A and B are shown apart, each in its own frame.
Chain A
Amino acid sequence: MSRKMMTALCLLALVPLAACKIVKNPDPEQPAAEGAPPTAASGSDEARMSARAAEIWEPQVVPYIAAKATDIATLRAALVDGPDAAASYGFRPAAEGSPWNFIAKGEGKVVAEDRQSRAAKLDLDTDGDGKGDVTVQLGPVMKGTALRDSLNFLVFTDYRDQIEFAKLARALNDHAHAGLKLPEGDLTGRSVAFSGPFTIRTKGEAILLTPVTLEVR
């Protein structure tokens, strides 16, 4: 498959997501029009997981993150001795072999930004030492599966296979990206309030946060 085709497919995959947002409450009396956005029960894996992410975002994901978020300073202190030491704040399946995920909230000053890259990001200083200590992913490409894996109501057993479950992670990341509203122009020096999850596998690993809420003050 050529790169162009890949890009085209990726763009196509975003279409139903956008469509879902516009047609929020379809009239149940109205028969589904041809080419109507797929539901969580129909269509390709990508389309179905995209619809699923859209379905759960407002009613489940946003309130869950708000309820479970821990202050970034508390998490940072707990993580000094590695992820296992911060287990009481962490989320992961019971079985061995899965890393810890943490849900943070806080505020920081932008010390560096990269908004040109496909994997755009902000570096925040959240402890006032002038150095970046939390990297907030802006996307459109967001790395990792922290968002899916910190939501403990999403269980792998409920999904057909790893492919479907990976598409769900991707769809949630896409949704997080789509919800970001940032002002134009250089944000360096501005204050930013955030909430969202990140994964920590090893002691000392840098924090790479997937934002669920992000607000420039």
Chain B
Amino acid sequence: MKILRRTLIASVALAAFATAPFAASAEGLIAIITPSHDNPFFKAEAVGAEARAKEMGYETLVLVHDDDANKQSELFDTAIARGAKAIILDNAGADATVGAVKRAKDAGIPSFLIDREITESGIAVSQIVSNNYQGAQLGAEEFVKLMGEKGKYAELVGKESDTNAGIRSSGYHDVIDQYPDLEMVAQQSANWSQTEAYSKMETILQANPEIKGVISGNDTMAMGAWAALEAAGRTDVIVVGFDGSNDVRDSIKAGGIKATVLQPAYRQAQLAVEQADQYLKTGKTGQDEKQLMDCVLINADNAGKLETFALAE
């Protein structure tokens, strides 16, 4: 009897706070929307979120938007139509996503963002992102050390519409530009893409054969650059990436790429699910909407402890 009453009160409270259509005893559905799983980073997010959601008793709906804001918008409609209780999202554009998140909010479905921010606050419940500025400074400090504080280098920048591309570049330069003997001879966007980075690197090498290092805005571009350098017999060039993927880990262990910066993508996705669960049950997360998570430098010293965007203790 007591239990029943508590459940009833909880149901009424939940309906009032979350305006959920049904406060059924089953935990309900969580939609997990990310960019394409071709990039292992996004796959790790989806896997992390899905595993945590299932542990906590939710059903999951895993979808990919392929960095297409229109497709993302359709996926939001799907999630709304399917009666999702919450949406975990790595979004397809800081500006373009605001409308979709707002539509879900109006339908009574809270969104919990990971990895990438949107340009407005007060629409999503949580925005949990890696501290890209701190991480980029870590990567840059290691790069400077590896370069011996001098020499010519190139920078590969990510997709311009993504805030993370700009913040990482800015973090790199706040460190590297302090060293007058480090000279950037090329700075190009390879749009986070491995194949694009390969061809950009080929061109950069032709124009600047004296290049000594490459700092890259993410790991997939670092992998593309490294492949081009290997093909040109230039394995002397120092490459530093960002993300902490298993591919780059293996390259570091084999003496290829020198370092990367781990974003705790797996934990971040799990944390978003935990906050969603708490919000659905209590009407709040107990946290600020926007939250930063520190990144960790990965080099030959600790690469062995890295697995699927998480570092073993």
Residues of chain A having any CB pair with chain B under 8 Å: 1-3, 6-7, 10, 93-99, 118-119, 141, 143, 145, 155-163, 165-166, 169-170, 201
Contact = CB atoms under 8 A, between A and B. Distances in A.
Interface in B86-145: 94, 117, 119, 121, 127-129, 131-134, 137
Interface stretch (B39-47, B196-204, B225-233, B282-290): B282-290
Range class of the B interface residue count: 35 or more
Interface stretch (B20-28, B49-57, B176-184, B245-253): B176-184
A1 B293 contact: no
B174 interface: yes
Contacts of B264: 97
Given A162-B117, A162-B129, A166-B167, A156 B294 contact: no
Interface string B157-171: 000000110110011
Given A1-B184, A3-B184, A156-B288, A98 B119 contact: no
Given A6-B173, A97-B292, A169-B133, 8 more contacts: A93-B287, A95-B271, A99-B294, A119-B178, A161-B119, A162-B129, A163-B163, A163-B167
14 contacts: A3-B180, A6-B177, A7-B177, A93-B291, A94-B287, A96-B271, A97-B271, A156-B290, A157-B121, A159-B290, A161-B119, A163-B166, A166-B133, A170-B174
Nearest to A156: B290
Closest A-B pairs by Cβ, 10 of them = A97-B293, A95-B291, A166-B133, A157-B290, A156-B290, A157-B289, A162-B167, A95-B287, A161-B163, A161-B117
B162 to A, nearest CB: 11
A3 B129 CA distance: 30
Interface in B266-294: 267-268, 271, 286-294
Given A10-B177, A157-B121, A162 B293 contact: no
A143 B171 CA distance: 11
B235 interface: no
Contacts of B294: 97-99, 201
A162 B128 CA distance: 11
Interface of B: 94, 117, 119, 121, 127-129, 131-134, 137, 163-164, 166-167, 170-171, 173-174, 177-178, 180, 183-184, 187, 264, 267-268, 271, 286-294
A163 B288 contact: no
Q: Which of A7, A99, A165, A169 gathers the greatest number of chain B CB atoms within 10 Å?
A: A165
B134 A145 contact: yes
Classify the interface of chain B: helix, strand, loop or mixed.
mixed
A169 B166 CA distance: 16
Nearest to B134: A145
Nearest to B168: A162
A118 B290 contact: no
A88 to B, nearest CB: 19
B200 to A, nearest CB: 17
B163 A162 contact: yes
Contacts of A162: 117, 129, 131-133, 163-164, 167, 292
Contacts of A7: 177
Contacts of B183: 3
A98 B291 CA distance: 8
Given A156-B288, A161-B119, A201-B294, A118 B129 contact: no
